[in-house]
Amino acid sequence: MWTVEESLPEVIAFLSGVDYARRVATPEGDTYDGGSPRALLDWLTAEFSLPGMAANANWIAGLRDRYGTDEAALDAMREYAKSLPADVDRQFEIGAAE
């Protein structure tokens, strides 16, 4: 819905951008609440980051290696997002699961 072609790199860039904008706009002193899309990005980091590299440097290659196709990788991301508690996924009025 929020990307032009719904490609894997585009979706990850969108989620990363939303997360970055949220962190920049959050006043100092606010605590990280682990909300959507941060929970999904944390999952990508935990699953696909390699020591000594930027957290997002291996997300796309790792997803493609594990799931075979971009569509299968996006499906896995959707499934993970659906597994989040509703209150976590709905913090932005429309959750990552959607």
Q: Is the dihedral of CA 89, 41, 69, 80 positive or negative?
A: negative
Residue 49: the pLDDT is: 86
Using DSSP, state whether 17 is helix, strand or coil: helix
Q: Name the token pair of 54.
A: 């930027």
Q: Name the token pair of 88.
A: 């976590």
Residue 71: the pLDDT is: 95
The number of angstroms, rounded, from the C-alpha of 41 to the middle of its chain's C-alpha atoms is 4
Residue 83: the pLDDT is: 86
Confidence class for position 38, pLDDT limits 50, 70, 90: confident
- Number of CB atoms found within 10 A of residue 76's CB: 15
| pLDDT tens sequence across 10-31 | 999 998 888 888 777 776 655 5
Residue 7: the pLDDT is: 92
